[in-house]
Structure 1
Amino acid sequence: MGADADRVQLCLSLVAYAGGIGEPARRASALHQCIAGWLAGLPVTSDQEIVWGPASFRLCWQANAPALVVFVTRSRRPDDDACYVVIRGGAPLSVWDHTVESLGWFEQEPWVWARNPGDLAPAVCSGLHRQLDVIRELTVEEQLPGAGRSLAEFLAASVNALDSDRKLPVHVVGHGIGGALASVVALWLRDTQGSGASRDVGWDPARHAKLHCMAFAAPTAGNGDFAIYISERLGVELELIHNSLDHAAALWDTQTLVGLPDLYRPHVNEPTVVRVVVEALGNELERHGVEYEQPPARVLPGALNTSLPPSYAAQAAYQHLHAYVELLGLGGQIDVDAILGLCSGTDDGPIAQ
């Protein structure tokens, strides 16, 4: 896809982080208003409107902060049928935050929707598997677009509303854990598309939808067989985009984890604590007998932000979020800190370290 499409999908993925605090974090209608306001205010997404959602899931012990948000947008232009399924998988990812265990990276589940996997045994992170189960069942609250419908029901209705000779482009997008979920959701939609779907009722029996996934800054979703399987099933329609200096893309493959302590040299020279964390993660992955592998990705050449304090956390936060804005030519157009609810007026990077 072209650069403009990359920018649209990055902005959608980042806007998904909006509404993580305050009233939007507690009420779906306020979250809808918050996200819609951000979409309208950004030049590259000003023509996008929410047509389904947002639907969200909250953990019982974190009722005021959605652990998962999904919504669908579509252009207001009559000549553009494309739908964007946008996924937020919690807060932006940190190498040492609590989601390491709560998302179940140390366990994997078989990919039960696999169609003709041959000798492959694709398996996915158990936490992502659980979140996919939630997404499959999510419905939209009353008074919001798509009220009462699940994602599959909405997409099925969208396909049925098209003329029989037209295709419905469906782009599944996300950033960070949302990016890993985007790839998993796109594969689930692919494996339940057409007749003879193995578990879920096929949402598009005649295959009138054209699926595409663009995932930014995503950690590895599954094992080596999963990487092969998803690449075969989605082909060129799977676009993983990584900043070469983003720590998230190295998670949770033990072969790439070992490079994290020295990722930000010479600006950051504190490898000891990072090395301890990385070694502990690698040991736990090996102890649980799980392995991860990234499918092929498009790697953007990152650059160290030497204006930041020489701390690993500051550089990692910048490279995981703000650097993508710069690398895709959106500098000055989107304020990531403001989306996250931080008191920043710039997009130059983390403001409180």
Structure 2
Amino acid sequence: MGTDAERVQLCLSLAAYAGLSGEPARRAGALHRSIAAQLAKIPATREHEIVWGPASFRVWWQPSSPSLVVFVTRPIQAGEDDCYVVIRAGAPVPVWDQNLESFGCLAQEPWVWTRRAGNLAPAVCGGVHRRLDVIRELTPEEQLPGAGRSLAELLAGCVGELEGDRKLPVHVCGHGVGGAMATAVALWLHDTQGPVTARDIEWDPRHHAKLHCMAFAGPTAGNADFATYISERLGPELELIHNSLDYAPLLWDTQTMAGIAGLYRSHVEEISVVEAVVEALGNQLERHGVEYEQPPARILPGQLNVELPPTFIAQAEYQHLHAYPELLGLGAQIDIDAILDRCSGTDDGPVAQ
């Protein structure tokens, strides 16, 4: 069972997948309405209002790929200052995502905002680095909440409204690759608190924001030094939550990837293709000389869904998406298939696979 905070932020992270196709995928106003409608349907997020965004980005040469989407919500109850920064970094299951950025794992970039790193040399996945650069510059379109302001400018305004020594709780959350991006965004915000260079605005010069990151089902964003650095910088305010049977958190560490093919061995009939793909990817990572390590995470005890067809992709989708609400005690409070606008029994869902 999960805490109230875990359930709220999981629901926000999953609701971010609304509007993957159709008009919401093409028009910002329709995307806003789609996400807001899903938030209103879920008991845990019913009292949340979108106060910035959604702001989205898709590379021009991949018009059909899922968008990178960021939005900010705040509870409408009086007396609650909390801001929730929610990140969707593409498709809900990485195997659906045809975005070339998914292969950015073969290169790494130094973490340029490093502070007090000592002998550490933190570096992040090239795809994470490029997505973070996009997020830093994103602004919502006209007629959307926060139009024309960047995320840092929005948070600077929220901090500026505080009276006295009050703190602004800022929660950064996401699922899947969005979870990996949530860790990067939270660390960027943490490392740019206080006086900064011209590279970023002084969004919180007096350190009046209290940052927290909760990421679900995310692959690691960087190397071993990055895992150590983010753990030291965010400390207990970094919460990674993984299902023990979810393959995504095992990416891109070559040692943990070796266990992916055997995750569902007692139920899946044929895993030779999965073994071949994992081995090929591991070989590519080693050939490019990059290494990854996952920071410490809370591991939820997953269970196989034996009612699904005995295929790896069916079980993988279930464990990466549907299992998390069940493991955190949400029950029927959130309908993932409704958010994705499809039925699990169709050709697009795990039952048909």
TM-score (normalizing by structure 1)? 0.96
Q: 1:194 to 1:298 in 2, by over 3 A?
A: same
**Alpha-carbon distance between aligned partners in 1 of 2:279 and 2:7, rounded to the nearest angstrom:** 36
Partner secondary structure for residue 200 of structure 2: coil
- Conserved in 2, the CA contact under 8 Å of 1:54 and 1:71? yes
- Conserved in 2, the CA contact under 8 Å of 1:56 and 1:66? no
> What is the letter of the counterpart of residue 155 of structure 2?
L
**Alpha-carbon distance between aligned partners in 2 of 1:335 and 1:91, rounded to the nearest angstrom:** 17
Query: Which position in structure 1 is the counterpart of 2:218?
Result: 218
Question: 1:227-276: CA deviations, max 9, x gaps?
Answer: 00000010000000000000001000001001111100201132211110
- Conserved in 1, the CA contact under 8 Å of 2:65 and 2:98? no
Structure 1 runs (4+) deviating above 6 angstroms are none
**Could you tell me how far 1:63 is from its partner in structure 2?**
3.1
**Alpha-carbon distance between aligned partners in 2 of 1:252 and 1:89, rounded to the nearest angstrom:** 17
- Conserved in 2, the CA contact under 8 Å of 1:337 and 1:350? no
Query: Which position in structure 1 is the counterpart of 2:301?
Result: 301
The answer to whether 1:127 aligns with 2:127 is yes
Which range moves more in the overlay, 140-149 or 63-72? 63-72
Structure 2 gap segments, 5+ residues each: none
Aligned length: 351
> What is the letter of the counterpart of residue 203 of structure 1?
W
- Conserved in 2, the CA contact under 8 Å of 1:252 and 1:292? yes
**Could you tell me how far 1:102 is from its partner in structure 2?**
4.2
- Conserved in 1, the CA contact under 8 Å of 2:261 and 2:274? yes
Q: Following superposition of structure 1 onto structure 2, how do residues 181-260 of structure 1 map, counting pairs within 5 Å?
A: 181-196=181-196, 199-260=199-260
**Alpha-carbon distance between aligned partners in 2 of 1:288 and 1:211, rounded to the nearest angstrom:** 34
Partner secondary structure for residue 104 of structure 1: helix
**Could you tell me how far 1:340 is from its partner in structure 2?**
1.1
**Alpha-carbon distance between aligned partners in 2 of 1:137 and 1:97, rounded to the nearest angstrom:** 23
**Could you tell me how far 1:133 is from its partner in structure 2?**
0.3
Which range moves more in the overlay, 98-107 or 142-151? 98-107
- Conserved in 1, the CA contact under 8 Å of 2:177 and 2:218? yes
Partner secondary structure for residue 262 of structure 1: coil
- Conserved in 2, the CA contact under 8 Å of 1:187 and 1:234? yes
**Could you tell me how far 1:343 is from its partner in structure 2?**
2.6
Query: Which position in structure 2 is the counterpart of 1:70?
Result: 70
> What is the letter of the counterpart of residue 18 of structure 1?
A
> What is the letter of the counterpart of residue 85 of structure 2?
V
Q: Following superposition of structure 1 onto structure 2, how do residues 95-106 of structure 1 map, counting pairs within 5 Å?
A: 98-99=98-99, 102-106=102-106
Partner secondary structure for residue 51 of structure 2: strand
**Could you tell me how far 1:37 is from its partner in structure 2?**
0.5
Question: 1:130-172: CA deviations, max 9, x gaps?
Answer: 0000000001111010111000000000000111211000000
TM-score (normalizing by structure 2)? 0.96
Q: Following superposition of structure 1 onto structure 2, how do residues 307-318 of structure 1 map, counting pairs within 5 Å?
A: 307-318=307-318
Q: Following superposition of structure 1 onto structure 2, how do residues 87-126 of structure 1 map, counting pairs within 5 Å?
A: 87-94=87-94, 98-99=98-99, 102-126=102-126
- Conserved in 2, the CA contact under 8 Å of 1:96 and 1:277? no
**Could you tell me how far 1:4 is from its partner in structure 2?**
0.6
Q: 1:167 to 1:249 in 2, by over 3 A?
A: same
Identity of matched residues, %: 71
- Conserved in 2, the CA contact under 8 Å of 1:26 and 1:65? no
**Alpha-carbon distance between aligned partners in 1 of 2:210 and 2:178, rounded to the nearest angstrom:** 21
